[in-house]
């Protein structure tokens, strides 16, 4: 009887999750601004192209903003809010402080959109559009972004501290965090593939270079030549804020080399390498597939970005359309 109840409960929760995703997909659509702001995608893309001229890593930084936003209360631009009398900013949560970047570029996108179609495009949708533009401009796939999100009226710093996957966590913990927001193992591996471009600070992986899991030795899964290179970039007593390429082969291009790097024990973050080096993990075969078939990776990445963008959006009369992404209207 107990197993029957558990099975029934699981089935009901699965149906509920599917319904929530279907409802959010029904509420969001790719033509949401077709009449109110028809040039929204090109405006976002133009601002990003300008930013890329002086900052080649900005595209990866903008995808990270979208990711870190969606994992906390859904894709509602809560991450963009500054501290105020009523708000503890998610920017100051451990996964974000001195780490997330690109807020000024989002502000520039918002300014351009307010000049063209004031009060229409949400900051949450700007993050989704910027992520797509970042991928396609770096040589990756393009897709029709589902739109119609509205912006939150508050932030959740405590949620940001607990919900966002960490580069120090085990694969099982990270999988649990993806499951908690309705994303599966294929989503986990595909979205991790965003680490095919961008940079990471030494403090996020230096323990792997010198004192992995308190052993006093480097992480044994690290390729020895790659280890030497990383130790030069990140000396043991140096600044933890030096940066290394997440993909040492094609650092600014969006391709499937990230997965080949994992096969060669060249995953920069512990959470990257564990996708391939965790014995018996379901992620290993997915890494192998994406490494050998870039088209398969691109197709999965697009679907997983859409899945992530569908996490608990505010729609209809919920939330608001902020005129300034950093603060709630009227504050």
pLDDT in tens, 33-76: 999 999 999 999 999 999 999 999 999 999 999 999 999 999 99
Give the pLDDT score at 110: 98
Give the pLDDT score at 23: 43
Residue 11 has pLDDT above 90, yes or no: no
Phi, psi at residue 106, to the nearest 5°? -60, -40
Give the pLDDT score at 331: 85
Residue 131 has pLDDT above 90, yes or no: yes
Give 317 or 237, the one with higher predicted confidence.
317
Q: What is the mean pLDDT of the chain?
A: 93
pLDDT in tens, 281-300: 999 999 999 999 999 999 99
**HEC string for the chain:** CHHHHHHHHHHHHHHHHHHHHHHHHHHCECCCCCCCCCCHHHHHHHHHHHHHCCCCCHHHHHHHHHHHHHCCCCCCCHHHCCCCCCCCCHHHCCCCCCCCCCHHHHHHHHHHHHHHCCCCCCHHHHHHHHHHHHHHHCCCCCCCCCECCEECCCCCHHHHHHHCCCCCCCHHHHHHHHHHCCCCHHHHHHHHHHHHCCEEEHHHCHHHHHCHHHCCCCCCCCCHHHHHHHHHHCCCCCCCCCEEECCCCCCCCCCCHHHHHHHCCCCCCHHHHHHHHCCCCCHHHHHHHHHHCHHHHHHHHHHHHHHHHCCCCECCCCCECCCECCECCCC
Res. 19 pLDDT band, cuts 50 70 90: very low
Q: Give the integer Cα–Cα distance in Å for 312 and 56.
A: 31
Is 38 known to sit in a ligand binding site? Answer: no
Is 72 known to sit in a ligand binding site? Answer: yes
In percent, the amount of the chain with pLDDT more than 90 equals 91
Give the pLDDT score at 7: 45
Give the pLDDT score at 177: 98
Q: Give the integer Cα–Cα distance in Å for 191 and 57.
A: 17
Is 274 known to sit in a ligand binding site? Answer: no
Is 283 known to sit in a ligand binding site? Answer: no
- Has 68 been annotated as catalytic? yes
Residue 209 has pLDDT above 70, yes or no: yes
Query: What is the rounded average pLDDT of the residues 86-97?
Result: 97
Q: Please give the CATH architecture assigned to the domain spanning 29-164.
A: Orthogonal Bundle (1.10)
Closest CA to 41 of 131, 104, 103, 102: 131
Domain ranges of the chain: 29-164, 171-307
Catalytic residue, from 45, 57, 68, 150: name it: 68
Residue 15 has pLDDT above 50, yes or no: no
Give the pLDDT score at 166: 94
Query: What is the rounded average pLDDT of the residues 295-309?
Result: 98
Give the pLDDT score at 24: 44
Query: What is the rounded average pLDDT of the residues 221-234?
Result: 96
Is 35 known to sit in a ligand binding site? Answer: no
Is 55 known to sit in a ligand binding site? Answer: no
Q: Give the integer Cα–Cα distance in Å for 189 and 184.
A: 9
pTM: 0.91
Residue 316 has pLDDT above 70, yes or no: yes
pLDDT in tens, 154-167: 999 999 999 999 99
Residue 207 has pLDDT above 80, yes or no: yes
The CATH code for residues 171-307 is 1.10.420.10
pLDDT in tens, 186-196: 999 999 999 99
- Contact partners, residue 306, CB within 8 Å, separation at least 6: 143, 146
Long-range contacts of 20-23 (CB under 8 A, 24+ apart): 20/182, 20/312, 21/182, 21/307, 21/310
Residue 21 has pLDDT above 70, yes or no: no
Is 196 known to sit in a ligand binding site? Answer: yes
Give the pLDDT score at 12: 47
Residue 198 has pLDDT above 50, yes or no: yes
Is 132 known to sit in a ligand binding site? Answer: no
């Amino acid at each position: 009887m107990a197993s029957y109840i558990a099975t029934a409960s699981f089935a009901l929760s699965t149906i509920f999750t599917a319904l929530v995703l279907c409802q959010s997909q029904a509420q969001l659509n790719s033509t949401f601004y077709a009449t109110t702001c028809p040039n929204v995608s090109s405006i976002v893309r133009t601002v990003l192209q300008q930013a890329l001229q002086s900052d080649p890593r900005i595209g990866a930084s903008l995808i990270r903003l979208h990711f870190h936003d969606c994992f906390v209360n859904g894709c509602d631009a809560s991450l963009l809010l500054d501290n105020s009398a009523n708000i503890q900013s998610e920017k100051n949560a451990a996964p974000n402080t001195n780490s997330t970047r690109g807020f000024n570029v989002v502000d520039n996108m918002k300014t351009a959109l307010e000049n063209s179609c004031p009060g229409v495009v949400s900051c949450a949708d700007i993050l989704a559009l910027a992520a797509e533009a970042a991928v396609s401009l770096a040589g990756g796939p393009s897709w029709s972004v589902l739109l119609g999100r509205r912006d939150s009226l508050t932030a959740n710093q405590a949620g940001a501290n607990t919900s966002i996957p960490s580069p120090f966590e085990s694969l099982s913990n990270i999988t649990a965090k993806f499951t908690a927001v309705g994303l599966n193992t294929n989503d986990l591996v595909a979205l991790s593939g965003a680490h095919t471009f961008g940079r990471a600070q030494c403090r996020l992986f230096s323990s792997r270079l010198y004192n992995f899991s308190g052993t006093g030795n480097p992480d044994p899964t690290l390729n020895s030549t790659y280890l030497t290179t990383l130790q030069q970039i990140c000396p043991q007593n140096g600044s933890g804020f030096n940066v290394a390429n997440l993909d040492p082969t094609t650092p600014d291009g969006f391709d499937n080399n990230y997965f080949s790097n994992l096969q060669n024990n060249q995953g920069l973050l512990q959470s990257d390498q564990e996708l391939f080096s965790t014995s018996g993990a379901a992620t290993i075969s997915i890494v192998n597939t994406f490494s050998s078939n870039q088209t398969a990776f691109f197709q999965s990445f697009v679907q997983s970005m859409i899945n992530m963008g569908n996490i608990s959006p505010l729609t209809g009369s919920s939330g608001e359309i902020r005129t300034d992404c950093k603060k709630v209207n009227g504050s």
